[in-house]
Amino acid sequence: MALSARRNVKRLLCFIQKNSLQKRLICNEKLPRTKDPLGSRVFSGIQPTGVPHLGNYLGALESWVSMQNEYSSVLYSIVDLHSITQPQDPQLLRDNILDMAASLLACGIDPTRSILFQQSVVSEHTELSWILGCLTSMPRLRHLPQWKMKSKQKSEGSVGLYTYPVLQAADILLYKSTHVPVGEDQIQHLELAQDLARIFNNKYGEFFPEPCALLSSTRKIKSLRDPTSKMSKSDSQKLATIFLTDTPEDIVFKIRRAVTDFTSEVTFDPEGRPGVANLVSLHAAVSGQTVEHVVSLARGLDTGKYKNLVAEAVVQRLEPIRLEIQRLREDRGHLKSVLVEGEAKARSLASPVMKEVRKLVGFS
């Protein structure tokens, strides 16, 4: 092939990839803002790896709550199968599942408006994952961020870690989900679900919808101790992360110790002043105001006094959630009954889908 022809092919591939991304973003821009009458279905999952932190709440859980009013069918799964790609203490995992259920309920997830369930109790997830895994190539999985990032940390990874995105795709497709809330770092995993829907449909006939990404509009909340990294449960620095169960005293102390710089004025400059910009983003997110507005509120304050303003806003937002988590944790029977009820509802959707998949594949 001539050099000019190869260049034209390369340009065409880039154009296709660019349009593919634009298509996903257009889908994201057309979010229904009222309850959807057309049968759209949202699916998302969260690992039971401890109580969520403020970044989890602002980046995902807050929008999960609002989606209960925007879509006619919403499923939220505590994805315990995914969590065991990392070593887990069995008793701690049991406790974490209930803690996560308590946290989601306290944040506003309503079992009468959505389906909240534990992933592992619906065996159809793993069955569909195996079928989809047989349609997935090893090179396709090898280039996904989950494997590249975590296998580097461990020098090598488990088979479960390697096939993690296939199970993720099965979680989504099992319910014929049309929309999936994701962060930008998970877009490639959602692309795998879209690809597998197409591959399955091409092989067995039109069956699975290709799910669209719902990208969060909330800025990522960064670590209070390292504003170049996102807030994380696994951060070794205890003052870096605000958890939903932190007391007001904990929150005030952590924010006062947040990394800023030697300029006293409060401005929003993520590149030049990441620490101060992180506080501004956090303040805007918890107060529901624009970045420009919270910067105007800080006019005349140095960063030390501004931290008090931010801490007050965070405490005001999180304290009712903390108290509700505390109340729910004391009623394990209620938490278990919510998950059992959610399991029944999830199974009622998953079972007929898998029955049809088995028939299409040739198992029955």
User: Tokens at residue 182, please?
Assistant: 């994701």
**Helical H segments across 288-331, by residue range:** 291-297, 303-329
∠ CA(303), CA(60), CA(349), 5° rounding? 170
Note whether 332 and 98 are within 8 A (CB). Answer: yes
336 is catalytic: no
Phi, psi of 190 (to 5 degrees): -70, -35
Closest to 298 measured CA to CA, from 308, 60, 156: 308
User: Could you say which of 35, 148, 233, 336 is catalytic?
Assistant: 233
Catalytic residue flag (residue 150): yes
Q: What value, to the nearest 5°, has the Cα angle with vertex 259 and ends 47 and 236?
A: 40
DSSP notation for 179-243: EEEE-GGGHHHHHHHHHHHHHHHHHH-S-S--PEEEE--SPPPBPSS-TTSB--TT-S-TTS--B
Is 230 marked active-site?
A: yes
Question: Exactly one of 23, 30, 176, 230 is catalytic; which is it?
Answer: 230
Q: How far is CA 93 from the centre of its chain?
A: 19
Residue with tokens 């998970």: 186
Sign of CA dihedral 296, 298, 303, 308: negative
* Buried/exposed 176-193: b ≥16 CB within 10 Å, e otherwise: bbbbbbbeeebeebbbbb
What is the phi/psi pair of residue 247, to 5°?
-75, 165
d(Cα 98, Cα 54) in Å, to the nearest integer?
19
136 three-class SS: coil
Catalytic-role residue among 18, 148, 150, 355: 150
- Please list the active-site residues: 150, 230, 233
